[in-house]
Structure 1
């Protein structure tokens, strides 16, 4: 069953076919010595997995070729979000293991599961990790009151504390650009729509030698290191940046969010009065990635919000949040 990755804007598609007769309880997994479902599971085949196979320690290969590790602990969700140069390069993928060790995964909103309950839980999480505003039928203006947003799991304490690692940065001024971007997200800064300040606090706690927990192939490890790191590093694909987030669904906890900027791109625009040539604005990228760190997901390719899955060269207006971006953060955290 082949899925179109671009068939949705922000609406979650609940696609599920289930043939399994029963599910082995988590406590009985070891006793039954269930065979692995993998080592590699194709996304479109998740609904057809045998009921008695064990997905822990396996990987999911998505339609675009990205491979994501399945969580090894129950009730864990890992999400990788990549910002591209074009609509087709950006992606948002999730893997979820429920409390009964059933598997579900999402490819840009299309959800498949090895059991109805796992698929339903992940679908509800992606649609209601706060709540989701319905997308208009056509692309909306940047400041339209019904501009779309998509919510993932939020920070219960309403704050995102992060550390910066400058190692490998091909330009100077990176930390300052990140700090401006983080402030834009937390304060709902928009030169187009007017500022709308949410109660989310973003705080740069200093620098670190720790690496961002984003792999070179543009995906996420099974678990992070419980430290939110924003940094640089080579990413083998052509994406500009990647955010990895880990969450525990049942207690409603966002555990960690890391950001990596692709250091293979050398000619980033950082500051100055004008941007020219084939350059990407670092602050625009960072605003998008801090949107992910704050709990926002991708919206449609044709939208004018900062959470669309790509950025244009030298378009400094992408530093400025749209009304949908602001509404999403306000829905998550309330007004300051």
Structure 2
């Protein structure tokens, strides 16, 4: 099934997020079951050595150095959920940062806009001076009637596309990004930026973010240690997917999207223009098939889109 996304970078990130989602809960369940089994074995055999535990639970896996007593007996389930949540938090933040950089590169936009795509909009003298609206204004400036009329309609149908909620989704992102920054740069202690981000996050309602619930978080005070919610961090993964899907749809209407489309056409169909039938209906059906081969959803084929493809020597 073709994803309703335009940019190749968006498709890569969406697929990676799906892989992570498919991995999370089965893995957490497996860890829980391993803890239960090791605890039961040690309860029945309190003097069991590490080599015995490894022989019983690890043999044949190819895994070396697993200390099952420390990880399954000495460490609490809450501690392990924290570690799991931390891994996921770092992964999701890195994926969104990589998407920002990759999307701008694909569109031929300034790399400096990457930071703006990671913040809600702030205004100065009534005009957007920082944040996603500022970046979108520069990227989509002038727009593309061709892409807006032919490619965008299908991309906009992505169920994760959330234009009314984009600002609030970025408020969510800032909370989790500041949590990540505190863990990496502040030894896990809450920073001033984190406390500010949490205060903004706590103002959000499910309706504002377009979800059944705002991802669960733990409350913090200044100087306390960051405590992550595994469920909340998994919810953050969906926030990232919604951000990518929403901004991807916006960018599909930009002038840079035209150039990205032509490059993909050349890569997929080669240099010479593709011969299409003279009959208008057959021609348009042929164009739809050619566009789908670019890993894009079925476009709206208009006379204007056909003429644009001819002008760019994509078809003849």
TM superposition score normalised by structure 2? 0.22
Answer with 1 or 2: which has the greater Rg.
2
Q: Which has the higher helix share?
A: 2
Between the two structures, name the one with larger relative contact order (CA 8 Å, sep ≥ 6): 2
TM superposition score normalised by structure 1? 0.21
Q: Which has the higher strand share?
A: 1
